[in-house]
A = this chain, B = another copy of it.
């Protein structure tokens, strides 16, 4: 049985400062500016980038940067009492992760013993943090910052091994990283969540809900991810022409995904509370993530049922971006990209409806943000689409077997790596929060007492009103 703890007054500073100081020392030893004279052993074989203007990729980098910090950060703000942690811990993990990712990815491509930092490597560093942020979604609300820093180190280290294997050894294609980021990050997180299974949360938690405005904050994250996904999938393409293809494919896949995700959501959702109101016979655009817990438990009160609605619903419009990742730069033609997005929207939506409850009840995988539906299955779909596309000759020099091996490798590293990481995170030292403090900012942050959605504050409100009247 793990020891729970909430007091991190010394643990967190010690861990954070130690990690940062070690990182700075490693940078002092290994990192230099790229002077443009290197040999270009970058992953994804982008030797061509080295003769280009040093700032050429900078706008792409900033789009990816927005996805990492605004997109992922605000995507997870749907929980009514966990918004500070979603954005704030996202910032912490990504800020540390990008430094660690620069090192871990850099050591595979040393140039005279040095890591030559450039925009291309910074994009890849941002990418490596995406795996952590996806996994963060699976364990959101149930882990401490110290646990998550440990996860960051391990997940990025293992990621960089798998990435090197896929790109340099297998020479598989995965420009938009359906396999090495999305599938990897999702199954890594699910493995961690399985190891950290909390029976006490089987029947849900009071704070596992959303409020109206928390869902709107989540939409900020969703829409920024949706808009900039073409940059994510094309940033490290090898030529301007394949980059254009990747942009077009992702743009169209995402657009088609919106239609299918909305349509299927509307079709499969039961009417939830809206039946009760009587006069409302809604087109229910949306499923609710935690609704599933209700289905499962039969005892969850209706008040907390329709949660996370727009957040998770709109998330699934992103599945098209995930699924088209691997073959984004291939000649799959615009309609091919749209078919992939269309299918991804359907799969993702059905997953939220039918698969998440099964995972939770039968397999003990409590997936807070439904990353399996958004990143996991669409990631595998992307990997499979890549195998098919390569087999059909849509990528010069590609080999379907290598694509399949890359998918298998990504899943294998994810599941084994995630399980081991979960076990390490379970060590008592790291201060896992007890069940009753899950999904609650106030365990780690100073939360203003006078809150919008806070019953406790009502007494104060009363008080100040009386004062005003006096």
Contact = CB atoms under 8 A, between A and B. Distances in A.
Contact of A228 (B53, B62, B226, B454): B62
Interface string A59-91: 110110110011001100100110110011001
Nearest to A10: B267
A329 to B, nearest CB: 11
A17 B260 CA distance: 6
A436 interface: yes
A220 interface: yes
A455 B266 CA distance: 27
A20 B23 CA distance: 49
Interface in A391-427: none
A173 interface: no
Contact of A462 (B20, B88, B458): B458
B280 A442 contact: yes
A349 to B, nearest CB: 11
B266 A13 contact: yes
Dominant secondary structure at the A interface: helix
B457 A453 contact: yes
User: Taking the full assembly, how many copies of this chain does it contain?
Assistant: 3
A1 interface: no
Contacts of A66: 227
Contact of A453 (B11, B310, B431, B451): B451
A95 interface: yes
A280 B80 contact: no
Interface in A83-106: 83-84, 87-88, 91-92, 95-96, 98-99
Contacts of A228: 62
Contacts of A456: 454, 456-461, 464
Contacts of A457: 453-457, 460
Nearest to A90: B223
Interface in A1-15: 5-13
Interface stretch (A29-37, A195-203, A350-358, A369-377): A29-37
A444 B262 CA distance: 11
A122 B247 CA distance: 10
Nearest to A258: B95
Given A95-B258, A456-B460, 10 more contacts: A6-B279, A13-B266, A17-B259, A54-B240, A83-B219, A95-B259, A98-B251, A206-B464, A277-B442, A457-B460
Closest 6 pairs (CB-CB, A-B): A8-B283, A456-B457, A456-B460, A7-B281, A95-B258, A452-B452
